[in-house]
Structure 1
């Protein structure tokens, strides 16, 4: 099931519209929303939401959160986000996680915040994975320290995307003190669970010795794993590293990559 995403602003700014509606009622609601006829959008989405359409339930939550076409009510917004999230809508799961993280419409609860933010990126959720770093700033203040805090909370529970995003913050020095060794450590933790972008990043680190001891074999191994998992960003470097190795070494690393299995995540792992 496809849904169109209305990025929530929760009263703090911009709504971002993307994609295509899946049902007639949501289409009518979207058309009204684009025309700034919020009362009509509410009417259309409310009918679809009452009929059980997860996309419309999320959109209705946005209207309540923003106070568009209806009195602003964060408790009601949280209700509709939850109703949609319980059907596996990734945008609603992310929105509900944000609500719990800030205590908007629900009691502030770090555990529930992390749980819903993790679910937003699970394979069972409908819609594309939510990139927390990209969403930060759409209708919300740019707060890299807060982003680092929530990434760290989720990373401590072995959430691979959060581990990799935390690695990126350490690499850039945004929200945390710049630390390439910490960046490499979190990228390694993410890669070990099979997260392909982290595999490519770790391979590049081994190639250059950035945050880790330089190793052509390890670079080629992780870049090969990333390639096998569909990540193409390190393909050129993979070829470069292969040329530096003996044919037998390339064969050994290829075999190791083919036989590699991701580790099982363990919560509350300390780095």
Structure 2
């Protein structure tokens, strides 16, 4: 498949980002609960690792919060998007770039229309791009290139974002730069 058509589908890229996040989460789902700090019926072989992750997340470790949100997002057999949102938001609001891009994807509403929130999607996408995340820069560059999702049409801003991502070896942005007039 030619990669070039993907630059025309920023929300598809966000979907891919979400799927990639799922691949990053190698631990099984934690049980769903009303309060994020509680856990019940965890698989015996992983309960210590999960308890450690939860403990670190509760102590404010941003990577643990991001990982915990990712576990809830890809949960097997059931997702818990409210928990994913909770943990990602904790990390993103303190500057975790991947948590911010994950929230941006969640707020597209693709997994659940109840989470569709274009303003929050742009907030966290911009935050992640400003933090140097090349995936977020590429997606945002596409939005500027086409003037979509509440982003004004601005080819110069798109070029700047693609250039920043390309300098970080994000190949889709390098391709997009070559294809720009």
What is the TM-score normalised by the length of structure 2?
0.64
Aligned twin of 1:160: 97
Aligned twin of 2:28: 8
Q: Does the C-alpha gap of structure 1 residues 11 and 168 become closer, same or farther in structure 2, counting only changes over 3 Å?
A: closer
5+ residue gaps, structure 1, are: 13-64, 82-91, 101-108, 122-129, 244-271
5+ residue gaps, structure 2, are: 1-24, 33-41
Contact 1:204 1:234 in 2 (8 A): no
The answer to whether residue 181 in structure 2 is matched with residue 204 in structure 1 is no
User: Secondary structure of the equivalent of 2:108?
Assistant: helix
Separation (CA, whole Å) in 1 of partners of 2:127 and 2:26: 32
Separation (CA, whole Å) in 2 of partners of 1:9 and 1:223: 35
Aligned twin of 1:218: 157
Higher relative contact order (CA 8 A, sep 6+): 2
The answer to whether residue 37 in structure 2 is matched with residue 66 in structure 1 is no
Aligned length: 147
Aligned with residue 191 of structure 1, among 95, 120, 129: 129
What is the TM-score normalised by the length of structure 1?
0.45
Q: Deviations over 1:234-256 (max 9, x none)?
A: 33332233x1xxxxxxxxxxxxx
Higher share in helix = 2
| Aligned residue runs from structure 1 range 31-70, under 5 A | 65-67=42-44
Contact 1:9 1:66 in 2 (8 A): no
From the CA coordinates, give the structure whose radius of gyration is larger: 1
